Amino acid sequence: MTANLTNLLLAPDNEQVHTALLQEISSYIQAEILEHPLIAEDSGKLSILLDGSTALGIADNISDIDLILVCTDECYGAITARFEQAGLIPEGSSLFMDVHLPGGKTGHYTLMKLSGLEQALLRGDLGWLWNASVSRLYHDPLDIGGLFARFIPLAPDVLMNLRKQTYIELRSCAKSLDNPVRRGEAFPILFQATEVFKQALRCAITVEGHPFPYDKWLVPVAEQLPAGERVLEAMKDFWSYLKDDNSYTAMYQEDNNFVKMEKRVRKVLLEELRLRGIEEPWLTEWWKYMED
Protein backbone atom coordinates (compact mmCIF):
# COMPACT_ATOMS: atom_id res chain seq x y z
CA MET A 1 0.00 0.00 0.00
CA THR A 2 1.29 3.46 -0.88
CA ALA A 3 0.45 6.90 0.54
CA ASN A 4 -0.61 9.91 -1.53
CA LEU A 5 2.95 11.26 -1.98
CA THR A 6 4.75 7.94 -2.29
CA ASN A 7 7.14 7.97 -5.28
CA LEU A 8 6.75 11.77 -5.58
CA LEU A 9 10.43 12.16 -6.52
CA LEU A 10 10.68 9.06 -8.69
CA ALA A 11 12.23 9.96 -12.05
CA PRO A 12 10.82 8.04 -15.06
CA ASP A 13 14.27 6.79 -16.05
CA ASN A 14 14.73 5.29 -12.58
CA GLU A 15 11.50 3.31 -12.37
CA GLN A 16 13.03 -0.05 -13.20
CA VAL A 17 15.83 0.28 -10.65
CA HIS A 18 13.40 1.55 -8.03
CA THR A 19 10.94 -1.30 -8.60
CA ALA A 20 13.74 -3.84 -8.23
CA LEU A 21 14.83 -2.18 -4.97
CA LEU A 22 11.29 -2.26 -3.57
CA GLN A 23 11.04 -5.95 -4.41
CA GLU A 24 14.37 -6.57 -2.71
CA ILE A 25 13.12 -4.75 0.39
CA SER A 26 9.94 -6.84 0.36
CA SER A 27 11.95 -10.08 0.24
CA TYR A 28 14.20 -8.85 3.03
CA ILE A 29 11.22 -7.97 5.24
CA GLN A 30 9.73 -11.44 4.77
CA ALA A 31 12.92 -13.42 5.31
CA GLU A 32 14.89 -11.31 7.79
CA ILE A 33 12.23 -9.54 9.85
CA LEU A 34 8.89 -11.38 9.78
CA GLU A 35 10.67 -14.74 10.05
CA HIS A 36 13.30 -13.50 12.48
CA PRO A 37 13.31 -15.98 15.41
CA LEU A 38 12.92 -13.13 17.92
CA ILE A 39 10.04 -11.48 16.01
CA ALA A 40 8.18 -14.29 14.21
CA GLU A 41 5.77 -15.19 17.03
CA ASP A 42 4.53 -11.58 17.12
CA SER A 43 4.53 -10.93 13.37
CA GLY A 44 0.73 -10.77 13.36
CA LYS A 45 0.84 -7.97 15.94
CA LEU A 46 3.04 -5.58 14.03
CA SER A 47 2.99 -3.57 10.81
CA ILE A 48 6.03 -2.58 8.75
CA LEU A 49 6.41 0.58 6.73
CA LEU A 50 9.11 2.08 4.56
CA ASP A 51 9.67 5.81 4.86
CA GLY A 52 12.46 8.23 4.02
CA SER A 53 13.99 8.95 0.65
CA THR A 54 13.37 5.47 -0.77
CA ALA A 55 9.63 5.83 -0.18
CA LEU A 56 9.77 9.16 -2.01
CA GLY A 57 11.24 7.44 -5.04
CA ILE A 58 14.92 8.26 -4.58
CA ALA A 59 16.96 5.13 -5.14
CA ASP A 60 20.52 6.42 -5.27
CA ASN A 61 23.74 5.14 -3.73
CA ILE A 62 23.56 7.43 -0.71
CA SER A 63 20.07 7.07 0.73
CA ASP A 64 19.49 4.52 3.48
CA ILE A 65 16.67 2.04 3.81
CA ASP A 66 14.43 3.29 6.65
CA LEU A 67 11.98 0.71 7.97
CA ILE A 68 9.68 1.22 10.95
CA LEU A 69 8.04 -1.64 12.79
CA VAL A 70 4.87 -0.61 14.65
CA CYS A 71 3.63 -3.14 17.19
CA THR A 72 0.87 -3.41 19.75
CA ASP A 73 1.82 -2.00 23.12
CA GLU A 74 1.46 -5.46 24.69
CA CYS A 75 4.15 -7.10 22.56
CA TYR A 76 6.62 -4.19 22.52
CA GLY A 77 8.24 -5.20 25.79
CA ALA A 78 8.39 -8.88 24.84
CA ILE A 79 10.15 -8.21 21.53
CA THR A 80 12.71 -5.82 23.00
CA ALA A 81 13.34 -8.20 25.91
CA ARG A 82 14.19 -11.02 23.51
CA PHE A 83 16.68 -8.83 21.66
CA GLU A 84 18.21 -7.74 24.99
CA GLN A 85 18.55 -11.33 26.19
CA ALA A 86 20.19 -12.28 22.90
CA GLY A 87 22.71 -9.46 23.40
CA LEU A 88 21.64 -7.73 20.18
CA ILE A 89 20.69 -4.44 21.87
CA PRO A 90 21.81 -2.89 25.18
CA GLU A 91 19.56 -3.46 28.16
CA GLY A 92 16.84 -0.83 28.45
CA SER A 93 17.41 0.55 24.95
CA SER A 94 15.02 0.76 22.04
CA LEU A 95 15.22 -1.64 19.11
CA PHE A 96 17.49 -0.33 16.35
CA MET A 97 18.80 -2.96 13.97
CA ASP A 98 20.94 -2.74 10.85
CA VAL A 99 19.57 -3.67 7.43
CA HIS A 100 21.89 -5.18 4.79
CA LEU A 101 20.19 -5.95 1.50
CA PRO A 102 21.76 -8.58 -0.78
CA GLY A 103 22.26 -5.92 -3.46
CA GLY A 104 24.49 -3.92 -1.13
CA LYS A 105 22.21 -1.16 0.17
CA THR A 106 22.08 -0.67 3.92
CA GLY A 107 19.83 0.97 6.45
CA HIS A 108 18.05 0.12 9.66
CA TYR A 109 14.75 -0.83 11.22
CA THR A 110 13.29 0.43 14.47
CA LEU A 111 10.38 -0.63 16.67
CA MET A 112 7.71 1.64 18.12
CA LYS A 113 4.42 1.23 19.95
CA LEU A 114 1.15 1.71 18.11
CA SER A 115 -0.03 4.07 20.87
CA GLY A 116 3.04 6.26 20.32
CA LEU A 117 2.25 6.58 16.63
CA GLU A 118 -1.41 7.36 17.34
CA GLN A 119 -0.46 10.05 19.87
CA ALA A 120 2.03 11.64 17.47
CA LEU A 121 -0.62 11.93 14.76
CA LEU A 122 -3.24 13.24 17.18
CA ARG A 123 -0.96 16.04 18.36
CA GLY A 124 -0.16 16.99 14.77
CA ASP A 125 3.47 15.91 14.80
CA LEU A 126 4.77 17.14 11.44
CA GLY A 127 7.30 14.38 11.06
CA TRP A 128 4.59 11.76 11.31
CA LEU A 129 2.10 13.66 9.19
CA TRP A 130 4.80 13.72 6.52
CA ASN A 131 5.55 10.01 7.00
CA ALA A 132 1.84 9.26 6.69
CA SER A 133 1.91 11.07 3.34
CA VAL A 134 4.86 9.19 1.85
CA SER A 135 5.18 5.81 3.56
CA ARG A 136 4.88 2.49 1.76
CA LEU A 137 3.25 -0.24 3.85
CA TYR A 138 4.61 -3.75 3.34
CA HIS A 139 2.90 -5.71 6.12
CA ASP A 140 -0.13 -4.24 7.88
CA PRO A 141 -2.21 -6.42 10.22
CA LEU A 142 -2.61 -3.38 12.52
CA ASP A 143 -4.19 -1.34 9.69
CA ILE A 144 -1.70 1.52 9.89
CA GLY A 145 -2.99 2.42 6.44
CA GLY A 146 -6.42 3.04 7.92
CA LEU A 147 -4.87 5.09 10.73
CA PHE A 148 -2.97 7.25 8.27
CA ALA A 149 -6.15 7.76 6.23
CA ARG A 150 -7.71 9.47 9.25
CA PHE A 151 -5.09 12.21 9.08
CA ILE A 152 -4.09 12.38 5.41
CA PRO A 153 -5.28 14.32 3.47
CA LEU A 154 -4.90 16.93 6.19
CA ALA A 155 -8.05 18.06 7.96
CA PRO A 156 -9.09 21.59 6.87
CA ASP A 157 -8.32 23.15 10.27
CA VAL A 158 -4.91 21.46 10.47
CA LEU A 159 -4.06 22.53 6.93
CA MET A 160 -5.16 26.12 7.51
CA ASN A 161 -3.09 26.28 10.68
CA LEU A 162 0.01 25.07 8.82
CA ARG A 163 -0.52 27.65 6.11
CA LYS A 164 -0.97 30.34 8.73
CA GLN A 165 2.13 29.30 10.69
CA THR A 166 4.42 29.15 7.67
CA TYR A 167 3.15 32.41 6.18
CA ILE A 168 3.55 34.28 9.47
CA GLU A 169 7.04 32.80 9.92
CA LEU A 170 7.90 34.01 6.43
CA ARG A 171 6.72 37.53 7.20
CA SER A 172 8.51 37.52 10.55
CA CYS A 173 11.82 36.40 9.00
CA ALA A 174 11.47 39.02 6.27
CA LYS A 175 10.84 41.75 8.85
CA SER A 176 13.93 40.62 10.77
CA LEU A 177 16.01 41.43 7.67
CA ASP A 178 15.32 45.16 7.95
CA ASN A 179 17.82 46.26 10.59
CA PRO A 180 20.71 43.97 9.49
CA VAL A 181 20.27 45.22 5.91
CA ARG A 182 20.37 48.86 6.99
CA ARG A 183 23.51 48.15 9.02
CA GLY A 184 25.16 45.86 6.48
CA GLU A 185 25.51 42.97 8.96
CA ALA A 186 26.40 40.04 6.73
CA PHE A 187 25.75 37.04 8.96
CA PRO A 188 22.33 38.17 10.27
CA ILE A 189 21.34 38.93 6.67
CA LEU A 190 22.49 35.48 5.58
CA PHE A 191 20.70 33.72 8.43
CA GLN A 192 17.40 35.51 7.91
CA ALA A 193 17.49 35.24 4.11
CA THR A 194 17.92 31.48 4.41
CA GLU A 195 14.95 31.32 6.78
CA VAL A 196 12.87 33.32 4.31
CA PHE A 197 13.77 30.76 1.62
CA LYS A 198 12.85 27.85 3.88
CA GLN A 199 9.55 29.25 5.15
CA ALA A 200 8.50 30.24 1.63
CA LEU A 201 8.94 26.66 0.44
CA ARG A 202 7.13 25.29 3.47
CA CYS A 203 4.22 27.64 2.84
CA ALA A 204 4.09 26.73 -0.87
CA ILE A 205 3.84 23.03 -0.01
CA THR A 206 1.02 23.64 2.49
CA VAL A 207 -0.75 25.78 -0.13
CA GLU A 208 -0.93 22.59 -2.20
CA GLY A 209 -2.54 20.77 0.71
CA HIS A 210 0.41 18.77 2.06
CA PRO A 211 2.47 18.77 5.25
CA PHE A 212 5.98 19.97 4.56
CA PRO A 213 8.95 17.58 4.74
CA TYR A 214 12.32 17.74 6.43
CA ASP A 215 14.49 20.63 5.23
CA LYS A 216 16.66 18.46 2.97
CA TRP A 217 13.61 17.62 0.83
CA LEU A 218 11.99 21.06 0.68
CA VAL A 219 13.39 22.02 -2.72
CA PRO A 220 12.87 18.70 -4.56
CA VAL A 221 9.33 18.35 -3.16
CA ALA A 222 8.42 21.97 -3.98
CA GLU A 223 9.69 21.41 -7.53
CA GLN A 224 6.98 18.79 -8.03
CA LEU A 225 4.10 21.10 -7.02
CA PRO A 226 2.70 24.04 -9.03
CA ALA A 227 2.80 26.57 -6.17
CA GLY A 228 6.27 25.37 -5.24
CA GLU A 229 7.48 25.82 -8.81
CA ARG A 230 6.21 29.40 -8.82
CA VAL A 231 7.93 30.19 -5.51
CA LEU A 232 11.20 28.65 -6.69
CA GLU A 233 11.01 30.72 -9.86
CA ALA A 234 10.59 33.86 -7.74
CA MET A 235 13.68 32.81 -5.75
CA LYS A 236 15.76 31.59 -8.68
CA ASP A 237 18.51 34.17 -8.04
CA PHE A 238 18.88 33.26 -4.36
CA TRP A 239 22.15 31.38 -4.91
CA SER A 240 23.73 34.26 -6.80
CA TYR A 241 22.61 36.68 -4.08
CA LEU A 242 24.40 34.54 -1.50
CA LYS A 243 27.69 35.13 -3.34
CA ASP A 244 27.08 38.77 -4.19
CA ASP A 245 28.92 41.18 -1.88
CA ASN A 246 26.36 43.86 -2.67
CA SER A 247 23.73 41.78 -0.91
CA TYR A 248 25.47 42.47 2.39
CA THR A 249 26.19 46.18 1.99
CA ALA A 250 24.41 48.63 4.29
CA MET A 251 21.44 50.10 2.39
CA TYR A 252 17.81 51.03 2.57
CA GLN A 253 16.03 47.70 3.00
CA GLU A 254 13.80 48.06 -0.07
CA ASP A 255 16.93 48.06 -2.27
CA ASN A 256 18.32 44.78 -0.94
CA ASN A 257 18.25 41.70 -3.17
CA PHE A 258 16.90 39.39 -0.48
CA VAL A 259 14.16 41.84 0.49
CA LYS A 260 13.11 42.16 -3.14
CA MET A 261 13.10 38.39 -3.45
CA GLU A 262 10.82 38.00 -0.43
CA LYS A 263 8.35 40.48 -1.93
CA ARG A 264 8.22 38.48 -5.17
CA VAL A 265 7.69 35.29 -3.21
CA ARG A 266 5.00 36.84 -1.03
CA LYS A 267 3.13 38.05 -4.10
CA VAL A 268 3.11 34.50 -5.48
CA LEU A 269 1.93 33.00 -2.21
CA LEU A 270 -0.83 35.56 -1.76
CA GLU A 271 -2.07 34.84 -5.27
CA GLU A 272 -2.01 31.09 -4.66
CA LEU A 273 -3.82 31.39 -1.33
CA ARG A 274 -6.47 33.73 -2.69
CA LEU A 275 -7.03 31.47 -5.69
CA ARG A 276 -8.14 28.92 -3.10
CA GLY A 277 -10.57 31.35 -1.51
CA ILE A 278 -8.34 32.11 1.49
CA GLU A 279 -8.77 35.69 2.73
CA GLU A 280 -7.72 35.34 6.34
CA PRO A 281 -6.83 38.42 8.43
CA TRP A 282 -3.33 37.04 9.08
CA LEU A 283 -2.48 37.57 5.41
CA THR A 284 -2.40 41.33 6.00
CA GLU A 285 -2.02 41.91 9.74
CA TRP A 286 0.26 38.93 10.28
CA TRP A 287 2.06 40.41 13.33
CA LYS A 288 -1.13 40.19 15.40
CA TYR A 289 -1.11 36.40 15.11
CA MET A 290 2.52 35.57 15.87
CA GLU A 291 1.78 34.00 19.28
CA ASP A 292 -1.31 32.03 18.22
**Can you list the residues of the chain whose pLDDT is less than 50?**
none
Other Cβ atoms within 10 Å of 206 Cβ, number? 25
Model pLDDT, residue 58: 86
CB 237 within 8 A of CB 246: no
107: Cβ contacts below 8 Å, ≥ 6 apart: 64, 65, 66, 67, 98, 99, 101
How much is the pLDDT for 1?
A: 66
Distance between terminal CA atoms of the chain?
37
Residues 6+ apart with CB under 8 A from 106: 64, 65, 98, 99, 100
Count Cα neighbours of 113 within 13 Å in the Cβ-side half-sphere.
Answer: 12
CA–CA gap between residue 137 and residue 4 (Å, rounded): 12
Question: Tell me, what amino acid is at 255?
Answer: D
Report phi then psi at 163, rounded to 5: -60, -45
The crossing angle, in degrees rounded to 10, of helices 156-175 and 257-275 is: 160
Cβ atoms < 10 Å from Cβ of 13: 7
Cβ atoms 138, 9 nearer than 8 A: no
Give the neighbor-by-neighbor strand order of the sheet with 106-113.
96-100, 106-113, 65-71, 46-51, 136-139
**CB 136 within 8 Å of CB 5:** no
Amino acid 292: pLDDT: 65
Across the chain, which distance is largest between two alpha carbons, in Å? 69
